[in-house]
Each structure stands twice: as structure tokens, then as C-alpha cells.
Amino acid sequence: MLREACLYQKLKKPKGAVRCLTCNHYCLISPGKRGAPPQRGICGTRENRNAKIYSLVYGQAVAENVDPIEKKPLFHFMPGTFSLSIATVGCPFQCKWCQNWQISQAPKPDKQIEGFELSPQKIVQDAIAEKCQSISYTYTEPAIFLEYALDTMKLAKKEGLKNIWVSDGYSSKEALTLVAPYLDAINVDLKAFKDETYRKYCGGRLQPVLESLKTIKKLGIHLEVTTLIIPAINDSKKELTQIAQFIKKYLGENTPWHISRFFPAYQLLNLPPTPVETLEKAYQIGKKAGLKFVYLGNVFNTEKESTFCPKCGQEIIHRENYNIKIQNLKIKSQKGFCKNCGEDLNIRL
């Protein structure tokens, strides 16, 4: 279903061109040559038709699943609950290690949009029927199906459901501001701390991601950060220290940092899985930088998957994969505190 985009700007020159304002590519989409297919933005899901931008993925889901919220991963937002997870095809990035490349890269270049009809109303109904407490916009970048997500988020809010984004952090400031009243939590991939890495491996830039993270923090949206550590690409002590220090300085010491293990995927099949020792090193770097909540992902380690009070050391949430046992958690005004010492754990319920 075609839907006119929320965020775009008509340009006087060149005639018929429009600029998409949805993500930080800010694509200038030309009208295209007469007789040729309409031109699309980098994501492959936004098209210039008669000097207007249209979303090609509205109501066209490519995935709908019930996931543990910890799979997003979110460890400090509604722990132990389930989230209805949806996605469409498309992405503003072309990450060479993408685990969902079959759907993220599906509409590029100018290919037919894949998916099945799923209205915002039906998504909310499904979430309620499955006894989910939230809806997650995930698997691909939610910003590229902004209109679809936003309509769903508004309906979800009316039904008392929470809204979650799992994002690459390339949403524009305009898009983040637009969804902020309805967005309760977000996990952002901070893929590296070198602009060269973003340009070479993802087709983007570092600075817009950093600015998006700062914007999310200012908007008061619950934020958690994930870094997939890839051998020889972003695993140096210097770079991991820079990431940890950025989180501490600009996002706060209570911001959870998820350190995830890489396994060969898509166009990086030649690299080995991340050594567990590298993850352990990153964990210690995060702690040394002053981050209170650092977690390991894609590796079995109950101690570094679980949440401990940073003040008294009490175990608050025990995790074994997706088996969650909440203990020693005191709830006050929808916030979580340590039952033993009263420490604010930056847990939102």
C-alpha cells in the first residue's frame, strides 16, 4: 500500500526532486527519466512520485513474531515480558555482517517489495491476543517504515501497550522528534567508533549516530546500547574504550551496554567468531570507564547476563539465555530499585 511520507522537502532545483528527511542520509531523490521506474532512496522503500515521496512498505510486514523483550536486547525495560515484533523490508545501511540481510537488503535496487498485508489495527490486536505488553519495531531499521510504525504506535498507546524500537541509530532528528511522544524504549547499535568503519562496512557515517544517541537521551526515551564486536574491525582496546567513555559521558553511567559476540554472516564469512576473551576484555573496559551495567550477548555467561546492584552487589535479575528470574527488585512508581540498599537500577516497568 502506498502512503505519502511524513517527512520530506520539495526542492526547486532540480525540478521535481525531493529530499527525504526520514534518516540521516537525507536522500535527494530525483524524479527520474521519462519512461523509467520512479527513483528510490538508499533504503529502497521510499520513492519519488510526481515530486512527492511515498512509502512503499506501509501495511506490508515481512515478519511478525513474539519475542522475549530480552532478545531486543532490553534488560532494563519491562524485564521478563514478551513483545510482538514486526518489520518490513529495507534499511538505510548495508552492513556486511547483517544477520537479517535477506530482508534488510531485499528492495535494493528497485526490486519488488516483499511482505504480507498486516494493518496497524491487526498488529495491536495480535499483541493483545498474544498477551504481549509491548510492540517492537525491529529486525530492520524502523525509520524506513516510519509512517507504518507511527500509526501502529499511536494505536498501541491507546491500548496501554509500550512501543520499542531496535535501531541502527541513523534516524533523523526530525523522525525521532516525531515518534518521541509514543516511543517508550529503544536499543541502538553503536557499531564502531571510527567513521571509516561506518563508511566502509555499513554505508553510513559515525557522527549522525552519535548525535542521534544524544537526541534520544535528551528526549527522555529509555535507552540501551549494543555493540557487536567483530575481530579486526572494532575490537581494539582503544576503540572499545572510546565507546564506553562516550556512553558514560553523554548517555550516563546507568545506560546498559550490551557487548555481543560476532558469528560469520552475510559478506563476512571469512572472519572467525569473536573470541570470548575479547568480550571479557570489553566487559572490563566498560566497567573501568564507569558504566554500571555491562552485559555479554551471544555467549553463555549467567553472571555477565544477569543484573547486579552496582552499590551492594546483590543479584537483582538472574538470566540464563531467556529464562528470567526477578529477585530483590523493589518497584516504586514504575521504576526498579534494589530491595537491599535502595539503589536506583534504571529499570523501567
pLDDT digits (tens, 9 = 90+) for 239-254: 999 999 999 999 999 9
Domain architecture of the chain: domains with CATH: 60-287 (3.20.20.70), 306-349 (no CATH)
Q: Is 133 exposed, middle or buried (0-12, 13-18, 19+ CB in 10 A)?
A: middle
Give φ, ψ of 14 to 5 degrees. -65, 155
Q: Are 227 and 262 in contact (CB under 8 A)?
A: no
CA gap 329, 287 in Å, rounded: 22
pLDDT for res 289? 98
Binding residues for [4Fe-4S] cluster: 91, 95, 98
pLDDT digits (tens, 9 = 90+) for 59-108: 999 999 999 999 999 999 999 999 999 999 999 999 999 999 999 999 98
Rounded to 10 degrees, the C-alpha dihedral 43/46/47/52 comes to: -140
CA gap 196, 202 in Å, rounded: 10
Q: Which residue has better confidence, 157 or 31?
A: 157
Rounded average pLDDT over 227-236: 98
In percent, how much of the chain has pLDDT > 70?
Answer: 100
Query: What single DSSP character describes residue 275?
Result: P
pLDDT for res 35? 65
CA gap 341, 127 in Å, rounded: 36
* Enclosing H/E stretch for 72: none
pLDDT for res 37? 80
pLDDT digits (tens, 9 = 90+) for 129-139: 999 999 999 99
Q: Are 147 and 6 in contact (CB under 8 A)?
A: yes
pLDDT for res 111? 87
pLDDT for res 211? 98
Cis peptide before 68, with omega less than 30 degrees from 0?
Answer: no
State whether residue 105 is helix, strand or coil: coil
CA gap 334, 337 in Å, rounded: 10
Closest residue by Cα to residue 197 from 234, 226, 247: 234
Supply the pTM of this predicted model: 0.97
How much is the mean pLDDT over the chain? 96
Q: Are 234 and 191 in contact (CB under 8 A)?
A: yes
Residue found under cell 541502527: 168
Strands (E) across 99-144 are located at 116-117, 134-137
Binding residues: 91, 95, 98
Rounded to 10 degrees, the C-alpha dihedral 248/254/256/259 comes to: 40
* pLDDT level of residue 45 (50, 70, 90 thresholds): very high
* pLDDT level of residue 1 (50, 70, 90 thresholds): confident
pLDDT digits (tens, 9 = 90+) for 262-305: 999 999 999 999 999 999 999 999 999 999 999 999 998 889 99
> How far is C-alpha 271 from the chain's CA centre?
24
Q: Are 17 and 28 in contact (CB under 8 A)?
A: yes
